[in-house]
Amino acid sequence: MSTAAAALQLRRASAAWKALGETGPIGLASAMVIVIAVLVTIFGPLIAPSDPYLGQLSNSYIGPGPGAPLGYDGAGRDVLSRVLVGARTSMLGPFFVVVLSLAAATLLAVWSAWVGGNVDSVVSSLLNVLFAFPGILLAILATAVFGKGLQAATIALAIAYTPYAARVLRGAALRERSLLYVSALEVQGVPAWAICFRHIIPNVVPLILAQATTLFGYAMVDLAAISFLSLGVQPPFPDWGVMISENLSGAVQGFPLAALSAGLCIFAVVISFSILGQRLHENYEARR
Amino acid sequence: MRVQLLFFVRRLLMLAATLLVASFVIFGSLYLAPGNPIAVLSGGRSLPPDAIKILEHRYHLDEPFLTQYWIWLTNAMHGDLGISITLREDVSILIAQRAGSTAALVLYAAILIMVFGVGLGLLGGLRPGWIDTGVIVTSAISAALPAFVAAIVLIAVFSVGLGWFPSLGSGEGVLDTIYHDTLPAIALAASSLAIVARVTRASVREEFGREHVQTAISRGIPYPALVRRHVLRNAAIPITTVTGVTIASLIASAAIVERAFGLNGLGAYLVSAANSKDFAVVQGISLVLVLVFVVVNLIVDVLYSLIDPRISLGSRAQ
């Protein structure tokens, strides 16, 4: 990497930090919650105080006590340990949804904005058909076809989210396409792919990040819902959606803590991503 | 008026095209699903070749894919969605038995969204200060509340704690259904309601900042007339759009609430059919849900063009 390229990388990295700083105290607090959730995703199984799979039925729905700050679930398993271990699927699933759908959306948006004409209208109408499928429905359909599990649901949701991200990114890509610097590069004979990948996409990265942040929350809710419907992650793995589903009967009997613990984790992560995404988007629009 | 009629016809054609592609996706994906339909029909037992032939012929399994799709589609248009392999009944009858329960739930949630979502948004938009701050905080919290988490909280507080509402099952008759559907409808509406409130508040605020409203204020137009004629009239466009779109999306997420509260609706049935690989049912319900979703979106588009004839027809407020 040349010095100029390295300097550019550095500038972009510091710009990302600055963008985060500009989100204000509430935005920073949301970022903190997300960082904690990511740390739990990585180290959860290591810091879990007890075995998340080993239960004692005599402990069924016993409230918080020494050694179990969140009490026990219906099968007498430690809720805290299960929440910590369950972060893995609950966080990684949405992560893959966001990465896949934004990669597809960015490529589609930039490609159709660049070529325009027929390609643009074909891509637009294909995406319009996808709008006819609510994400949850597509995910249920996918699990019916490819079998229950996180994989089918993740891919289905990635497909379902692509049109939403692509619509926003296409507008931004069209705006970039009409700017003078793009024409200047074209006149200099820079190949189209290079202009797209080295210039247009890096310039819409702030918007991609804002979209990613917003979509992560939606993906987390939808994937947990699929697991709640027993079509996603399968028990005994303590995915947060699975935990809510398992402990639903406990809530009806008056022991909501086990289900609420997992629910609160989803709520905290979703609200943090939603606030951060909104702030990032506002700042992007304001800078334009 | 002619322009609007043309727009309507064009939208209907688009809707038909979308449904055609969607039906192809629904049929095609389940056709590709691994597993032999005959094996499912026979329950895993081995059948004599003659019996297999008869079954293949009855379910058109010996036809090429496109012919099968065409038979399925034309039958579906006549209201025949095939036979459920687990319950051995007409899928359309099974769907009809459960559609009412889901429709009641979604309608109830839609009313909650229209009344409280728009109401909270107007309150926040028209009353700056601590009321507005309250609306912002409430809607931020409610927006991040997934239906299944809201369900747990509602059951814990209002069903187990206070004993005001039942936590399970659906009711008989109108009043009893409303009684049984109250908690499910709130859980279903929670996050959509917040989105509607947020958009309503933002668009009312935006209209207040507009020049024509400032002019109206300086002309001394009384406040109620100002709000009604100048602010709400213009803010109605994004509010209608977001309300319609969020209500349309409830149709699919009703499945979650039906599972949480043990309601016997379409969504819960779709999930159990997906679980038991009852493909005719999965196809049928998916088709119905997509149809309703697309039609509701069409209604929103038409409403939108009626509210605001200025903007070029067919483009939606972002």
- The whole-number pLDDT of residue B314 equals 46
The answer to whether residue A249 neighbours chain B at the CB level (below 8 Å) is no
Domain boundaries, chain A: 43-48+67-278
DSSP letters spanning chain A: --HHHHHHHHHHHHHHHHHHHTTHHHHHHHHHHHHHHHHHHHHHHHH-SS-SS---GGGTT--SBTTBTT-B-TTS-BHHHHHHHHHHHHHHHHHHHHHHHHHHHHHHHHHHHHH-HHHHHHHHHHHHHHTTS-HHHHHHHHHHHH-SSHHHHHHHHHHHHHHHHHHHHHHHHHHHHTSHHHHHHHHTT--HHHIIIIIIHHHHHHHHHHHHHHHHHHHHHHHHHHHHTTSSSPTTS--HHHHHHHTHHHHHTT--HHHHHHHHHHHHHHHHHHHHHHHHHHHHHHH-
Average pLDDT over residues B235-247: 83
Q: Does B168 touch chain A (CB under 8 A)?
A: yes
Q: Each residue of B51-74: pLDDT tens digit?
A: 778 877 777 777 778 888 888 888
B136: contact with A, CB 8 A cutoff:
no
By CA distance, what is A144's nearest residue in B? Answer: B274
Mutation target among A122, A137, A161, A279 for the B interface, most CBs of B within 10 A: A137
Looking at the predicted structure, is the pLDDT value of residue B197 above 80? yes
Answer whether B11 touches A (CB < 8 Å). Answer: no
A267 chain-B contacts, CB cut-off 8 A: 144-146, 149
| A251:B259 CB<8 A | no
All residues of chain A having their beta carbon less than 8 Å from the beta carbon of residue B153 are 256, 260, 263
Contact A150, B291 (CB under 8 A): no
Q: How many Cβ contacts (< 8 angstroms) between chains A and B?
A: 138
Residue of A136, A254, A263 with shortest CB distance to B160: A254
B313 has pLDDT over 70: no
**Which two tokens mark A138?**
């597509």
CA A62 to chain centre: 34
Q: What is the tens place of the pLDDT at every residue in B204-214?
A: 888 877 888 78
Residue of chain A whose alpha carbon sits nearest to that of B18: A129
pLDDT at B317: 39
pLDDT band (50, 70, 90) for residue B310: low
B168 DSSP assignment: S
Q: What is the pTM of this model?
A: 0.83
Residue B83, strand partner residues: B90
Mean pLDDT of B71-90: 78
A43-48+67-278, CATH topology level: MetI-like fold (1.10.3720)
B140 interfaces chain A, CB cutoff of 8 Å: yes
Give the SS3 label for residue B56: helix
Of B140, B149, B255, nearest to A266 by CB-CB distance is B149
pLDDT at B36: 66
The answer to whether the Cβ–Cβ distance between B144 and A146 falls below 8 Å is no
Tally of CB atoms within 10 A around B137: 10
Looking at residue B1, what is its pLDDT?
61
How far is the alpha carbon of B29 from chain A, nearest alpha carbon, in Å?
7
Query: Is the CB of residue A86 less than 8 Å from the CB of residue A272?
Result: no
pLDDT digits (tens, 9 = 90+) for B92-147: 888 888 888 888 899 999 999 989 988 888 888 777 888 888 888 888 888 888 98
The CA distance from B278 to B41, in Å, is 10
pLDDT of res. B311:
53
Task: Please name the member of A129, A140, A224 whose beta carbon is closest to the beta carbon of B274.
Answer: A140
Residues 64-93 of B with CB under 8 A from A: none
SS3 B86: coil
Q: What are the tokens at B254?
A: 């009703």
pLDDT < 70 positions in chain A? 1-5, 8, 12-13, 15-16, 288
pLDDT of B172 above 80: no
How many residues are present in chain B? 318
Q: Could you tell me which residue, B177 or B78, shows the higher pLDDT?
A: B78
CB atoms within 10 A of CB A205: 15
Find chain A residues with C-beta within 8 A of B191's C-beta: 221
Interface touch A228/B156, C-beta < 8 Å: no
Phi, psi at residue A243, to the nearest 5°?
-60, -40
Interface-testing mutation among B256, B285, B295, B300, with chain A (most A C-beta atoms within 10 A): B256
Query: Looking at the complex, does the CB of residue A172 fall below 8 Å from at least one CB of chain B?
Result: no
Nearest to B167 among A217, A231, A252 (CB): A252
CA dihedral B1, B3, B5, B10 (to 10 degrees): -170
pLDDT for A102 equals 92
